[in-house]
Amino acid sequence: MNANPIPPLHLYSVPRGAETAPVAPPKQERPRTAWTADQLMAAEFPDPKWAVPGILAEGVSLLAGPPKVGKSWLSLGLGLSVAAGGQAFDSVPVKGGPVLYLALEDTPRRLQTRMGKLLGGQQAPSGLTLVTECPPFPQGGSEAIAGWLDRNPDARMVVIDVFAKMRGQAPQGVSAYDADYVSVGYAKRLADHYGIAVVLVHHVRKMASEDFLTEVSGTNGIAGAADATLVLKRARGQADGILHVTGRDVNEAEYALSFQEASGAWHLLDGPATDHTVSDTRATILRFVRAHPGARPKDMAGELPQVDIDTIRRTCSRMADAGQLSKDASGRYYPDTDTRTQGDQEVSGLSGCPVTPTDQHERPGQLQEELSGLSGPNEAEGMAR
């Protein structure tokens, strides 16, 4: 038996290095909370600080997704990237700074194994503090995290994996909505006071929805209290995933991601999310209809086992509206060759699908309001179940 077992890690036992004279933490001024209208319009405010530009801003962000979808790999990878000042998702430059990662469902051995894969032989950043035990927010967790932030005034991000471990018991006599709102409020106060990004890793409901916000587990009080909500979806057996993002300081967008099994890393893919999900569905339908003119949606189900029949019906209907297919009175579909070969729209010689305009590839992801009217949210949802 090992005579020197590893002691349990918790936030109070994080080593601080060599003993030095105590230094008082910088005083945090209480932010102003009242103005007259003319004073407010004349005031100058700094831009929000970003942990990951365009995706994670200062404030509370929910990172939700189904069990085993890869949320912990994603959040740990982000923690390593921000702590080292590297590139998040292998493509987004981030400014380095201390990161606190509360891995409340993991062991030190598992964390070591995962970091070894993610680092791929690179040196581990000293700016990332990993903790496996912390009391819930109401029982001293807020004070413990605040103490770490006082000792690390340049901190950029705190990740809590998972949020359920930190929320504590709901106050007696309050509604479920109020209890959820209060539980996120603990993290919100820390984020606002210290001007950092706090990421709460959370779960989604089993029932899928067209609105990804309603998939977050719990009442609307959780998403309502958070500054941003990120929902990660990945179909079983597929490497590609979609990160749905919306928030007060974050533009609503969808990002296509690829999970690398060998390294455990999530990579950001070029172009809008529909380039990597929906267009594959349409290409398969087009190929099938060209080979089997007069096919019905139920005939196509065998070619798209990962897509439910209702999504196939909706997709065929949208493709007919877009001129990619034609439909007769009995509900059979035919290839609309004339429409697909018009000169004003380039068609891929490989799939028969219209080629996405090049201006849609100038940035990763695409704002939700800019997504093509040809492919609605239901279609993306079907691929991500």
Could you report the per-residue pLDDT of 295-316, keeping only the tens digit for each? 999 999 888 887 888 889 988 9
pLDDT band at 241 (very low <50, low <70, confident <90, very high): confident
Ordered DSSP codes for 87-124: EETTTEE-----EEEEETT--HHHHHHHHHHHHTTSPP
Residue with the two structure tokens 């997704």: 65
Give the pairing of strands 56-57 and 59-65.
unpaired
pLDDT of residue 374: 28
**What is the b/e burial string over 253-265, where b = at least 16 CB atoms within 10 angstroms of the residue's CB?**
bbbbbbbeeeebb
Q: Alpha helices, DSSP H only, in the chain?
A: 37-42, 71-84, 108-119, 141-151, 176-194, 220-225, 278-291, 297-300, 309-321, 337-340, 377-384
pLDDT of residue 245: 93
Against a cut of 0.75, is the pTM above it? no
CB 360 within 8 A of CB 269: no
Return the higher-pLDDT residue of 363 and 281. 281
* In the predicted structure, residue 236 carries a pLDDT above the cut 80: no
Return the higher-pLDDT residue of 156 and 362. 156
CB 159 within 8 A of CB 78: yes
pLDDT band at 346 (very low <50, low <70, confident <90, very high): very low
pLDDT of residue 281: 78
